[in-house]
Amino acid sequence: MIHYKTPEEVDIIKESGEILGRAHAEVAKIVGPGVRTDELDKIAEEFIRDHGGDPSFKHYNGFPATLCISVNENVVHGFPSDYELQEGDIISVDCGVKYKGFHSDSAFTYPIGSVSDEVRKLLRTTKESLYIGIGAAKHGSRIGDVGYAIQHYVEERGYTVVRELVGHGVGKNLHESPEVPNYGRRGRGTKLNHGLVIAIEPMINLGTKHVVQEEDGWTIRTRDRKPSAHYEHMVAVWKDRTEVLTTHKYIEEIITI
């Protein structure tokens, strides 16, 4: 069942998204070579709690942390750890905030120091594809239109789309219907109606589209161990517009890709 949101509920989600965006910026301030990924997790959790929110991911189905931190070939759902980031790494930071009963969810992939031109192009293309997908998420369109737009954009540039992992509805629950794949056929799937809130999150690989799950039961990595990038925003679909509910602006004041 799809839970359509009222304008008042969306306003709360935007408040949650504001806390989330600023929490991401606290991570952006210190992310770099020599920083342990569990330090990033601690900073994000403290910021979220200090601003009246709760980390959406912590203890969700047993997940142990505030942030999903996925380095290099890890696509999503990686654990923070004592790993120290190294020059040339990339790191996907995915985070959620629960505030006044509603969740927000967004992700950003950072280059660590100087990365190769090939990898930087992957990051830029994946981020661009997020906005291509948002542009396709219009009232009266279908989920397949969003997935097709993302897939077409990245594949014509030589990248591949992870099939096993998808975006999703968000609201009082972190994951709601409908699923939002990053591939698809135009005119297929759930219709996008007034009040629908979804997270769009391209997960795009430099090499093969195939992924495997690590023994920890959470971390998903590329089968060929080539890098993967991940960016995410939440949007609300209204009859006259599509509204982005999360923000990367505080990150982008600190870092560019």
- Whether the CB-CB separation of 151 and 182 falls below 8 Å is answered with yes
Q: What pLDDT sits at residue 256? A: 87
C-alpha separations of 179 from 78, 111, 157 in Å: 21, 29, 25
pLDDT band at 7 (very low <50, low <70, confident <90, very high): very high
Q: Does the pLDDT of residue 106 top 90, yes or no?
A: yes
Q: Mention every residue, 6+ apart, whose C-beta is less than 8 A from residue 73.
A: 221, 222, 224, 225, 226, 227, 228
Closest alpha carbon to 235 in 105, 95, 90: 105
Question: What residues pair up with 111 in beta bridges, in sequence order?
Answer: 90
- Provide mean pLDDT across the span 14-36: 98
CATH number of 7-252, picked from 3.40.50.720, 1.25.40.10, 3.30.1050.10, 3.90.230.10: 3.90.230.10
3-state SS, residue 2: coil
Phi-psi map region of 74: left, alpha, beta (phi>0 left; psi -120 to 50 alpha):
beta
- What b/e string do you get for 190-223 counting C-beta neighbours within 10 Å, with b at 16 or more? bebeebbbbbbbbbbbbeebebeeeeeebbbbbe
Q: Encode pLDDT of 150-195 as tens digits.
A: 999 999 999 999 999 999 999 999 999 999 999 999 999 999 999 9
Q: Does the pLDDT of residue 60 top 90, yes or no?
A: yes
Residue 240 neighbours by CB distance under 10 Å: 8
Average per-residue pLDDT for the chain: 98
Is the entire prediction scored with pTM above 0.85? yes
Residue 87 neighbours by CB distance under 10 Å: 12
Cα angle value 238/253/14 (rounded, 5°):
30
178 upstream amide cis, omega within 30 of 0: yes
pLDDT band at 212 (very low <50, low <70, confident <90, very high): very high
Q: What pLDDT sits at residue 138? A: 98
Q: What does R_g of the chain's alpha carbons equal in angstroms?
A: 17
Q: Using a pLDDT cut of 90, give the percent of the chain over it.
A: 99
Q: Does the pLDDT of residue 147 top 90, yes or no?
A: yes
pLDDT band at 81 (very low <50, low <70, confident <90, very high): very high
Q: What pLDDT sits at residue 85? A: 98
Q: Does the pLDDT of residue 228 top 90, yes or no?
A: yes
